[in-house]
């Protein structure tokens, strides 16, 4: 008796369905991708019972002829792949030819389609139950395709009972449709749940060749999905990818390169202070395909760096565009994950794109009229490590030796160039009162680069109108000091509303950037260890360290090869206080490899500097007089990233007049 046999076709289809169709959201995903590949301008998705009893996806795309309508239910039948070479450059959303036969094998499916440019006024309708064609007939229907899927997994009760609740399945469907709507703002989406419209998003006109048009279309689509109050920063960044001679040549960055190709990263990221407790609102698209990629998630987080608190995650909608030959979209059955040929270069570019956008936001460049995209980047940024940022004036101060207790050889390069923020003591009774100015004329505002008093009348906004400076970054508009609350929070007024500044966090940021500029201005001194330490590594870590020995030595971390996978550590940077030098090196290697960043002074010394400036910045209870506060605000304006302290906590919080009016019940 033969032990090996060919499975029946319906069993093979059901096995394939197990990979392609995990839940109702998988059906919606496959059908919507087919509609998008058919160049649909409108897509309507209707579900009932979380997709268990009904999923109907209708579009106005190219449609199919009668022969194509029958052929599309054959295994591996597709219009998107012609040869094996096409798999190396996949430019469509779907390409395997397994979706429709797999879905039809586990449901009762009705396909109605009519060619958009066909001569026949009739549509063709194909009815399939459990993978078997029941009927093929002519029907009435508009140009395009409609696929109706009823009773999903009706013939597989074991699979059906593992589906979650109706609300959970609906949430998965809505999540995918949100991603599709963000990826294709030029397509209108209509989502109906239990015969009630959840949202209807009209198509947006855009010019694919115009960066401003694409950002405007994406901004409009994000407004439709998330509202207009979310503060996002636009980014449009280009980088060069170094490509090897041969497809099978090592892509580790070594060896000869002869060609360069462009990588473009554009979209929106959350402004400092806009974050979530999870990555649920972190949307990444590669050639418009929504994906999940841990490496890119870490690259985005690295781009925020000191602008985000630990345990919080950025909000973003980022689009990565590159040659399809550089991306493998066939590494996951549901195409949720992709693999890059040059992953390290892509991750580094994503980090730089995020960092450049944040730096330009802090500098007040590229502000747009819309609140959703205010304070952002409007043009392509360069690919430098720290990015283009405003240089501090020549008189910008450095902390004094008495204030920053660092080793002497580091402090030798950190001599003060002007006085620090003066600290004037006052009596205990006086220190418990807010620093206000009753009975006197309000002090002059701390001028910013931009000034606007439009919409102001008798000290308050004219009705609910927003001033012209609504789109300007907070530190680019005039601020008037009102007082100090609790010897910590500085209250200021702008033409947009109320601003609170944490004096400790603000001083931390000022000192941190001054220290980092000094450390980056020259070679880092090394301090020899009393007894050298041996560091033994695995093959991958040893190879990484061997490639970066010279860079680490320039930064004060001196290691020498002491065997195939063993290194001898004999010096560390003088500002590093490490009780266990070996553990310090291991942690440093893990961090550098995890984030995918280059070995640089900024990355190496910042943790020690952040801890130092935290100890020496002004604290809660340290009294500051108005001139001292004004000097602190001016120093904060000169910082590259002024809106957070080195630990990611906000330095400034703004309450607009609109928010205040809502709190007091003046508006609905």
The residue written with tokens 């301090």 in the block is 527
Question: DSSP letter at 442?
Answer: P
- Rounded Cα–Cα distance for residues 191 and 210 (Å): 29
Q: Cα dist. 221→30, 162, 180, 224, 524 in Å?
A: 22, 34, 11, 5, 48
What is the predicted pLDDT for the residue at 57?
97
- Rounded Cα–Cα distance for residues 350 and 319 (Å): 10
- Rounded Cα–Cα distance for residues 523 and 554 (Å): 7
- Token pair recorded at residue 521: 């201005």
- Rounded Cα–Cα distance for residues 587 and 576 (Å): 13
- Rounded Cα–Cα distance for residues 265 and 54 (Å): 38
String of DSSP letters for 98-148? -HHHHHHHTSEEEEEEE-TT-S-S-EEEEEEETTEEEEEEEE---SEEEEE
- Rounded Cα–Cα distance for residues 486 and 484 (Å): 6
CA proximity to 129, closest of 103, 147, 164? 103
What is the predicted pLDDT for the residue at 606?
67
3-state secondary structure of 319: strand
- Rounded Cα–Cα distance for residues 602 and 520 (Å): 7
Residue 314 near residue 275, CB atoms below 8 Å: yes
How many Cβ atoms are within 10 Å of 41's Cβ, its own excluded?
A: 14
What is the predicted pLDDT for the residue at 511?
86
Question: DSSP letter at 311?
Answer: T
Rounded to two decimals, the pTM is: 0.74
Residue 263 near residue 239, CB atoms below 8 Å: yes
Question: DSSP letter at 279?
Answer: S
Residue 314 near residue 308, CB atoms below 8 Å: yes
Beta bridge partners of 59: 43, 145
Tell me the per-residue pLDDT of 309-334, one tens digit each, with 9 for 90 and over. 888 999 999 999 998 888 988 777 77
What is the predicted pLDDT for the residue at 249?
45
What is the predicted pLDDT for the residue at 2?
72
Q: Cα dist. 388→21, 75, 343, 600, 604 in Å?
A: 47, 53, 25, 17, 21
Integer-rounded Cα radius of gyration of the chain:
30
- Rounded Cα–Cα distance for residues 564 and 543 (Å): 10
Q: How big is the CA angle at 340 (ends 336 and 343), to the nearest 5 degrees?
A: 120
CA proximity to 487, closest of 644, 629, 615? 629
Q: Which helix (H) or strand (E) is 199 found in, with range?
A: strand 196-201
The residue written with tokens 């801890």 in the block is 611
CA proximity to 390, closest of 637, 609, 643? 637
What is the predicted pLDDT for the residue at 561?
92
CA proximity to 488, closest of 475, 513, 505, 474? 505
What is the predicted pLDDT for the residue at 152?
94
Q: What is the rounded (10 degree) CA torsion for 414, 306, 344, 86? A: -150
Question: DSSP letter at 546?
Answer: H
Residues 6+ apart with CB under 8 A from 123: 63, 112, 113, 114, 138, 139, 140, 141, 142
The residue written with tokens 């206000």 in the block is 436
CA proximity to 341, closest of 330, 325, 352, 357? 325
Q: How big is the CA angle at 33 (ends 184 and 15), to the nearest 5 degrees?
A: 155
**Sign of the alpha-carbon torsion through 159, 162, 167, 170:** negative
Residue ranges, the chain, pLDDT below 50: 246, 248-259, 366-443, 450-468, 601
3-state secondary structure of 656: strand
String of DSSP letters for 468-522? GGGGS-GGGS-BEEEEEETTTEEEEEETTEEEEEEHHHHHHHHHHHHHHHHHHTS
- Rounded Cα–Cα distance for residues 654 and 659 (Å): 10
Q: How far is CA 331 from the centre of its chain?
A: 23
Residue 98 near residue 13, CB atoms below 8 Å: no
């Amino acid at each position: 008796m033969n032990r090996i046999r060919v499975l029946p076709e319906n069993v093979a289809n059901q096995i394939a369905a197990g990979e392609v169709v995990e839940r109702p959201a998988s059906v919606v995903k496959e059908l919507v991708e087919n509609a998008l590949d058919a160049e649909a301008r409108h897509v309507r998705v209707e579900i009932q019972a979380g997709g268990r009893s009904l999923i109907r996806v209708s579009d106005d795309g190219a449609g199919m002829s009668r022969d194509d309508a029958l052929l599309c239910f054959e295994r591996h039948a597709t219009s998107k792949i012609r040869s094996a070479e096409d798999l190396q450059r996949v430019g469509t959303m779907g390409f395997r030819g397994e979706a429709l036969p797999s879905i039809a094998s586990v449901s009762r499916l009705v396909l109605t389609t009519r060619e958009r440019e066909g001569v026949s006024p009739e549509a063709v309708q194909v009815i399939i139950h459990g993978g078997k064609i029941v009927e093929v007939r002519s029907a009435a229907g508009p140009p395009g395709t409609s696929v109706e899927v009823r009773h999903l997994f009706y013939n597989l009760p074991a699979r059906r009972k593992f589906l979650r609740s109706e609300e959970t399945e609906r949430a998965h469907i809505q999540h995918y449709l949100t991603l599709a709507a963000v990826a294709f703002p030029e397509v209108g989406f209509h989502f109906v749940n239990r015969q009630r419209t959840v949202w209807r998003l009209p198509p947006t006109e855009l010019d694919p060749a115009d960066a401003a048009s694409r950002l405007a279309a994406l901004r409009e689509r994000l407004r439709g999905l998330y509202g207009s109050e979310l503060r996002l920063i636009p980014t449009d960044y280009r980088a060069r990818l170094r490509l090897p001679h041969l497809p099978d040549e090592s892509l580790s960055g070594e060896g000869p390169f002869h060609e360069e190709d462009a990588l473009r990263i554009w979209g929106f990221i959350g402004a400092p202070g806009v974050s979530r407790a999870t990555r649920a609102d972190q949307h990444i698209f590669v050639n418009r395909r929504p994906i999940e990629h841990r490496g890119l998630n870490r690259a985005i987080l690295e781009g925020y760096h000191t602008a985000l608190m630990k345990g919080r995650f950025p909000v973003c909608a980022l689009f990565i565009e590159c040659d399809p030959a550089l991306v493998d979209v066939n590494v996951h059955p549901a195409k949720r994950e992709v693999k890059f040929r040059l992953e390290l270069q892509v991750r580094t570019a994503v980090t730089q794109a995020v960092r450049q956008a944040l730096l330009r936001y802090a500098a007040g460049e590229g502000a747009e009229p819309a609140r959703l995209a205010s304070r952002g980047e409007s043009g392509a940024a360069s690919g430098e490590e720290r990015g283009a940022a405003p240089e501090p004036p020549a008189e910008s101060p450095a902390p004094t030796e008495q204030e920053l207790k660092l080793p002497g050889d580091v402090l030798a390069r950190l001599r003060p160039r002007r006085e620090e923020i003066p600290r004037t003591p006052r009596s205990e009774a006086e220190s418990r009162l807010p620093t206000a100015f009753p009975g006197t004329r309000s002090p002059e505002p701390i001028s910013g680069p931009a000034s606007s008093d439009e919409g102001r009348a008798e000290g308050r906004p004219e009705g609910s109108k927003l001033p012209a400076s609504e789109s300007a970054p907070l530190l680019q508009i005039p601020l008037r000091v009102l007082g100090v609350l609790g010897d910590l929070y500085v209250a200021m007024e702008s033409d947009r509303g109320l601003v609170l500044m944490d004096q400790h966090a603000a001083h931390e940021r000022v000192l941190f950037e001054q220290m980092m500029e000094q450390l980056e201005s020259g070679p880092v001194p090394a301090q020899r260890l009393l007894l050298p330490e041996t560091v033994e590594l695995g093959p991958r870590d040893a190879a990484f360290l061997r490639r970066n020995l010279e860079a680490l030595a320039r930064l004060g971390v001196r290691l020498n090869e002491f065997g195939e996978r063993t290194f001898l550590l004999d010096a560390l940077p003088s500002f590093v206080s490490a009780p266990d030098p070996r553990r310090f090196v291991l942690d440093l290697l893990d961090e550098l490899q995890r984030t995918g960043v280059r070995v640089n002074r900024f990355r190496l010394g910042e943790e020690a500097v952040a801890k130092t400036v935290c100890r020496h910045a002004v604290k809660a209870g340290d009294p500051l007089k108005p001139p001292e506060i004004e000097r602190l605000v001016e120093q904060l304006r000169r910082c590259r990233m002024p809106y957070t302290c080195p630990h990611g906590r906000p330095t400034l919080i703004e309450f607009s007049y609109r928010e205040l009016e809502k709190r007091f019940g003046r508006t609905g």
